A = this chain, B = another copy of it.
Amino acid sequence: MSAPSPQRRGRDRDDAAAPEDGAQRVRLRFLPDGAEVRVPSGTPVFDAASWNGIAIDSTCGGYGTCKKCKVRVISGEVPVGAIDPRAFTSEELRDGWRLACRANARTDLVIEVPPLQTRPKAALVGVGRHVILRPSVQKRHLVLTEPTLEDQRSDLQRVLDGLEDLEPHTSIDLMRSLGGILRAANFDVTAVVCDQELIDVEPGDTTARRFAIAFDLGTTTVVATLLDLDSGQPVAVRSMLNRQQPYGADVITRISATMMDDRALSALSERAHETVAELVDEVCAEGAVDAREIYEITVCGNVTMMQLALGIDPEPLSMAPFVVATHTFPPVHAADFGVIVHPRAPAFVFPSLGAYVGGDIVAGILATGLTRDRRLRLFIDVGTNSEIALGSSERVLATAAPAGPAFEAAQIKCGMRAAEGAIEALKITGDDLELEVIGDVEPVGMCGSGLVDAVAELVQHGLLDHSGRFIPDEDAAVLHPGLAPRLTMIGKERVFVLHWRDKDPETSVYLSQRDVRELQFAKASIATGWGILVRELGVEPGEITQVLLAGSFGAYLTPLSAVRIGLVPKLALPRIVSAGNVAGEGAKIAALSLRERAEAHSILREVEYIELSGRADFNDLFIDQLAFPG
């Protein structure tokens, strides 16, 4: 094998589902509807179609076992594969007929898709994505003949023979109960297959019930969505704070905890498990679903959250050169996350691009379709660590910008989480401030979006200059006599009071000079990040057609303020959209479609990770970005 190319060095190769070569791209046109897509060379035709919402018949989900995904190659070259001769006559092969799931696109192709025999279901999920339902979890009701001296097939073989379109492997654990189940049920059973593993055989016909849980395992908040895999619809959604909070608000403090105390890693792991276990109880109760009917979980989160939850030492993540244990995880079970659902339920864990561009971002890229869309788009997940991706179906770059805790409001004097009492938005109207407060109560602090609004408004109205300094009192009295009294001192530091209490600045909610500096550093870091990506990609910021602000913080951020402080490129406001919790959407998509899951691995190969630390041009750009735009 040739040496890996530099861009691909950071990727794990233990990834059978992914196309072999992400660097080159090929163009596919699907007939009769004429849809055209560009995908990395080596992508199976079936996946290329699925990723673009074009349905092709299949019951196995794309493993070459059902032999239903028949398509015809009208133009271009696809060699006859090992399984094709079992599905087609020689004449059909000569005519270009191939199984779409085994046909890898290595040249431009025109593909004819026959009319569908069955209408596949789809769900609207992610950022306006239409996902064809092909869940990993499949059930088949089998009425098997009982063994006789003339038919001594093994118990396992009898079940496998009943699964005409699937060829799963299995586990010794299932073998321990299989014989008893078959005989107690008089050989009338339902096979449960999950990602090519026969995970259970259940008495009678249980095909109507199959569920999965998609987890977004965030540093702050953990969200669980219970999905009905038959309809693709969520049955229950619950979220709660990550119980690791006592070990620190951000990933760095939690990693530090493990470095100072040998027992902290297992304690943090247990806390993560407790959190998800409680969420499982809640969604099962709400959805009236038995935990044993949940046959799979999907999990996204940043690398630190994944390594902590799985008991992998995170120390190498916390210091240069920032090395992850693995980009693609080996097979993991729900039980490895402390999730007590079906005892043999696997867990799909999103792969990561880098130590600070984790599976949550890969999930987000999947949910937004960034690598498939022709438009040039900028994706920013704003947080203590901000992940940034820029590109289109041509090419996508990603990086991580250490924004510091400003956006989590931890280092901000009156900062707080986006909870009741937090100022989440703010506007200067005439001589007054209009505050939006979560819960419509008296404000007790401000969350990240409030901070951004406050700074943006003060810059806009001239009370903060472009270098980020509060203007002198005398200038303020001239410029904004109504607001000037809010500009005052606490000790030796100048502050701007957002909400008075007891006429005492110290007990009021205020913005301090140091808070402004924190935000400047944070936004400069992010702006430097996308600035470097823009430069690397050889585009102009004005060419960006859409900025997607992701993460729980992004959801609250006002596009106007984001532009004003220079957090995002200066674009028309409709181009800047809040994409919400795209990581969680990505986790749902992975539970609903095996093919989208393959896309997650494809993202790992296609997206080029740019490391900012140690870059010669970082500091120059950073200093340029510190000021607020004029």
B-binding residues in A (CB < 8 A): 1, 4, 9-14, 67, 86, 147-157, 160-161, 164, 167-172, 174-176, 178-180, 183, 310-313, 315-316, 320-327, 329-332, 336, 354-355, 611, 613-614
Contacts and interface: CB of A to CB of B under 8 A. Distances in A.
A179 B310 CA distance: 14
Given A9-B157, A148-B321, A152-B611, 13 more contacts: A14-B160, A152-B354, A154-B325, A154-B326, A155-B316, A157-B327, A169-B330, A172-B330, A174-B330, A175-B310, A175-B312, A176-B312, A179-B323
B153 A10 contact: yes
Contacts of A354: 152
B324 A155 contact: yes
A325 B13 contact: no
A92 to B, nearest CB: 17
Contacts of A315: 179
Given A14-B170, A325-B175, A86 B155 contact: no
Contacts of A157: 9-13, 326-327
Nearest to A349: B172
B172 A336 contact: yes
Contacts of A10: 152-154, 157
Which 7 A-B residue pairings sit nearest by Cβ, starting from the closest?
Answer: A156-B326, A149-B614, A149-B321, A147-B321, A147-B323, A154-B324, A170-B330
A312 B4 contact: no
A84 to B, nearest CB: 12
Contacts of A614: 149-150
Contacts of A326: 154-157, 175
B175 A316 contact: no
Q: Can you tell how many copies of this chain the complex includes?
A: 2
B323 A176 contact: no
Nearest to A322: B152
Contact of A152 (B169, B171, B321): B321
A151 B67 CA distance: 43
A312 B179 contact: yes
A329 B329 CA distance: 25
Most chain B CB atoms below 10 A, which of A152, A320, A332, A611: A152
A172 B148 CA distance: 42
Contacts of A325: 154-156, 175, 178-179
A315 B179 CA distance: 9
B169 A14 contact: yes
Contacts of A323: 147, 152-155, 179
Most chain B CB atoms below 10 A, which of A1, A67, A310, A324: A1
A510 B295 CA distance: 64
A88 to B, nearest CB: 14
Contact of A331 (B151, B172, B311, B327): B172
B310 A172 contact: yes
A13 B167 contact: yes
A153 B154 CA distance: 45
A1 B86 contact: yes
Most chain B CB atoms below 10 A, which of A11, A171, A330: A330
B311 A176 contact: yes
Given A151-B321, A322-B152, A332 B172 contact: yes
A217 B147 CA distance: 28
A303 to B, nearest CB: 10
Nearest to A164: B1
Contacts of A148: 321
12 contacts: A9-B153, A14-B156, A14-B168, A152-B321, A155-B324, A155-B326, A172-B336, A175-B310, A175-B326, A175-B330, A179-B323, A180-B313
B179 A313 contact: yes
Contacts of A170: 14, 330
A147 B321 CA distance: 6
Nearest to A197: B330
Given A12-B156, A157-B10, A160-B14, A172 B324 contact: no
Contact of A172 (B152, B154, B329): B329
A355 B180 CA distance: 17
A504 to B, nearest CB: 49
A160 B329 contact: no
A172 B10 CA distance: 19
B12 A355 contact: no
A149 B324 contact: no
Contacts of A67: 1
A614 B149 CA distance: 7
Nearest to A613: B149
A178 to B, nearest CB: 6
A346 to B, nearest CB: 11
Nearest to A336: B172
